[in-house]
Amino acid sequence: MIHDLKLKLKMDPFRRFRLHLKQALGTVGLVTTLLPSLACAQAVGADLNVSPPRVIFNAGSRADTVLVYNRGTQPATYNIELVDRLMTPDGRLQSLAEVGTTPDEAAARVRLKSAHDLISFSPRRVTLPPGEGQTIRLRILRPADLAPGEYRSHLTITAVPDQDQGLTAEQAAGKGPATGIGVKLTALFSVSVPLFVRQGSPDLNVTISPVRYRGPDKPGQAASLVVDVQRSGSMTAYGDIVVETMDGGAAGKALSQFGGIGVYPEIDHRSVDMQLSRPLAHGEKVRISFKDRDLKPGQSLASAVFTAP
């Protein structure tokens, strides 16, 4: 699941346009830093809660549901749509409209198997009183001649602001009401849930390589391991990365854990920066494991031993 925060800028009455600031989970903090009054007062839909975080339709699966819940204190309206998104090797997810034209991006676009035409859903817009939820019903339209593989689209739920909501640029800067034509900003919050449609037998292989150590540059700074998860086959690798000690009486103790890492089929690898609970000693050995959360929960799909320089 990814969370998006959009800044909707309205040029009244002549122009309307949108500025998108997208970062999984960390976006709210970014906007708070840039525009504190806007983020605190105008984060429309930040009380949106969606579950489950991902939906998988295996062979024979025909229907499922996603729950949208308004945990805020005011009624809220949400638009619901299917959006195709590409993953980049650093873990970012971009809609097809945002993807560039570099060779890597073009190759990823070709490799994406969209589930957009395989999924129907309803409703497409809901208004929820505070403390109430709505079930989104999903149905799979699986053609008899569907080729083997994993197909994916993202169910995206976006809060809809009132027309009167938002701050002018002057108000966001704390300069009071504006006169005449002004830019009006409203922060929009959205959540995307990946929907997977799988056809045929699962095909996945995972390896871990390379691993790079980043020691602290100054006192108090955390050390980290940059782990590259390599994926091959037709389906997503989804699991947890765990770094454990191998030396002495503390063998098996976790030094770092990153849960819910996905590597989608349009990319072959994803780099993950694992912050360690302490720096590694010279020559110390650690084991890095990728543990499955999908077909075989808890089973290690790949591991590697790293020796600190």
pTM for this structure? Answer: 0.79
Which domain range does residue 146 map to? 2-199
Judge if 20 and 162 occupy the same domain. yes
Q: What is the CATH number of the domain that holds 239?
A: 2.60.40.10
Judge if 15 and 157 occupy the same domain. yes
**pLDDT at 44 (0 to 100):** 57
Q: For tokens 């002057």, name the residue.
A: 170
Judge if 249 and 172 occupy the same domain. no
First vs last C-alpha separation in the chain: 36
Last residue of a domain, one of 199, 229, 258: 199
**pLDDT at 258 (0 to 100):** 94
**pLDDT at 217 (0 to 100):** 84
* Number of domains within the chain: 2
For 55-69, give the secondary structure using H, E and C: EEECCCCCEEEEEEE
Q: How far apart are CA 28 and CA 49, in angstroms?
A: 15
Judge if 154 and 291 occupy the same domain. no
**pLDDT at 301 (0 to 100):** 97
Last residue of a domain, one of 155, 182, 199: 199
Judge if 170 and 74 occupy the same domain. yes
Judge if 177 and 110 occupy the same domain. yes
The per-residue pLDDT for range 240-255, each reduced to its tens digit, is 999 999 987 778 899 9
Judge if 192 and 216 occupy the same domain. no
Last residue of a domain, one of 134, 167, 199: 199
Judge if 30 and 131 occupy the same domain. yes
For the chain, give the secondary structure using H, E and C: CEEEEEEEEEEECCEEEEEEECCCCCHHHHHHHHCHHHHHHHEECCCEEEECCCEEECCCCCEEEEEEEECCCCCEEEEEEEECEEECCCCCEEECCCCCCCHHHHHHHHHCCECHHHEEEECCEEEECCCEEEEEEEEECCCCCCCCEEEEEEEEEEEECCCCCCEEHHHHCCCCCCCCCEEEEEEEEEEEEEEEEEECCCCEEEEEEEEEEECCCCCCCCCEEEEEEEEEECCCEEEEEEEEECCHHHCCCEEEEEEEEEECCCCCEEEEEEECCCCCCCCCEEEEEEEECCCCCCCEEEEEEEECC
Judge if 123 and 95 occupy the same domain. yes
Q: Are strands 149-160 and 182-199 parallel, antiparallel or unpaired?
A: antiparallel
The per-residue pLDDT for range 75-102, each reduced to its tens digit, is 999 999 999 999 988 888 999 988 888 8
- Extract the residue ranges of the chain whose pLDDT is less than 50: 8-42, 166-169, 172
Judge if 24 and 154 occupy the same domain. yes
Which tokens go with 234? Answer: 């037709």
